[in-house]
Structure 1
Amino acid sequence: MRLLLGSANRVVLKRWANLLEGGHRVERAESPGALKKMSALDGYDLILVHRPMVDREMVAQVVMSPENKVFLLSDRPDEDEGLDFLKRGIVGYGNTYMSQPRLLEAIKSISNGSVWVGQRIMQRLIAEVHARVKEDESRQKKKPGLDSLTLREKQISGLVAKGRSNLEIASALKITERTVKAHLTSIYEKTGTGSRLSLALLVNRG
């Protein structure tokens, strides 16, 4: 896997690099500017970001590209913060200093299409989704949602829900990545979702 590590703390960067040594191609971004510039490039399977280096706006910019998978690591993980960032599109939230086995497990899980967070955060996320469904169930029936998607858009949505990357989707459907991105923009607009996670939740809920 090709990983981008983002932190202004060189001790943290060195620790992450040592833990991931051998099995991954690792590149480093030591400032918010470098992170923004490097994350705009295609090709990273996962971006590990140190929470102290970024604010919410910066995270939103990095996850703006549907291709980017962001794993946010905090020195002091907080449930409310983790839940908030998940809603903004990250795919993982954990402790900066987690052990090597746990870090490798998290990366493997995310690469397989899962979301990596603590059990309590996931329970809260699921509870919020269920509560939202109950509150606006009648309105959701009136909204176009997934029913408004074309056959191709439904195929892409299904693959996104399975954790497939844009490259994998393009290969499976024999189309270009640019076409996949264009379809995703249309899908997000039609379904009212703004990230891969939100779309996956909608598909799996349906």
Structure 2
Amino acid sequence: MSVRVLVVDDQELFRAGFALILDSEPDISVVGTAADGFDAVAQAHALAPDVVVMDVRMPRLDGVAATRRICAETAAKVLVLTMFDTDDTVYAALRAGASGFLLKDMQRAELIAAVRVIAAGEALLAPSVTRRLIATLSERGGPRPELARRLDGLTERELDTLRQLARGRSNVEIAAALTVTEHTVKTHVSAVLSKLGLRDRVQAVVFAYEAGLVVPGAGD
């Protein structure tokens, strides 16, 4: 079954280019395009895409606000695109529910791979965006007590898993670090997301830093 994609960008060349690239893949189908956030929300409801490729800066309703509504009102996952890794909306978009972030200067293969990864239920951040996210979280001050209290519901192994997730590690890397099987890691990741009410690994990263489980700049 093809991954259903909605492409949202206020610039026609970007919108058409992204749609052409993705629709040329045998396992991806572009079901629609939108030029602003309001249209994106409407089409997300009407077309039920699996993934929404979302530009950040748009007229009428920006990508952050559109992402928040789409993630709250539909089952679609959102891949956010931006021109700059220093864009102040990176943090806001991830808080709004975005499952991934890429820069618009990415390679064709990176866009295709990102859509597949997010459709499969994983999450994706460009390395430079991850660094920016951690820096932003660091600048926002200390941990939030109300989030820290929610960590009490996790087992020690689940806390270890969340720490590893926050450091950007894959399931294979986490399995090696914790000396468990990859299947066990997947079980722990699912439990962490379920207990904390999080959509995906990106949200888990944000939560870990905001709750104070991991401190920006600290080593293992």
Is 1:143 aligned to 2:149, yes or no?
A: yes
Match of 1:17 among 15, 19, 23: 19
**Conserved? CA contact 1:74–1:94, under 8 Å:** yes
Q: Contact 1:5–1:29 at 8 Å: present in 2 too?
A: yes
Match of 1:35 in 2: 40
- 1 CA distance for matches of 2:143 and 2:56? 34
Q: 1:27 to 1:130 in 2, by over 3 A?
A: same
CA deviation profile, 1:124-176 (whole Å, cap 9, x unmatched): 545777999xx559x5698355629xxxxxxx9953868xxxxxxxxxxxxxx
Q: Is the helix fraction higher in 1 or 2?
A: 1
Match of 2:121 in 1: 113
Q: Give 1:17 deviation, angstroms.
A: 1.8
Give the RMSD, CA atoms, in angstroms. 4.0
Aligned equivalent of 1:89, options 97, 117, 135: 97
Distance of 1:45 and 1:145 partners within structure 2: 30
Aligned to 2:65: 57
Query: Any conservation in 2 of the 1:157–1:200 contact (CA below 8 Å)?
Result: no
Give the number of equivalent residue pairs: 171
The question of 1:26 aligning with 2:57 is answered: no
CA contact (8 A) 1:88 1:195 kept: no
Q: Offset of 1:91 from its aligned partner?
A: 1.3
Aligned residue among 5, 10, 22 for 1:8? 10
**1:26 Cα shift?**
0.5
Q: How far is the alpha carbon of 1:22 from its aligned partner?
A: 3.2
Structure 1 unaligned runs (5+)? 149-155, 163-183
- Structure 1 residue 3: Cα displacement: 0.6
1:9-55 CA deviation, whole Å, 9 max, x = no partner? Answer: 22222211221113211022333332111112474221001223242
TM-score by length of 1: 0.61
| Residue 5 (structure 1) shift | 0.8
- Where 2:49 maps in the other structure, the secondary structure is coil
Structure 1 range deviating more: 53-62 or 8-17: 53-62
Seq. identity, %: 15
In the alignment, what sits opposite 1:80? 88
User: 1:70 & 1:90 partners in 2: Cα distance?
Assistant: 5
1:172 corresponds in structure 2 to: none
Change (3 A) 1:202 1:74: closer
Structure 1 pair 160/131, CA: closer, same or farther in 2 (3 Å)?
farther
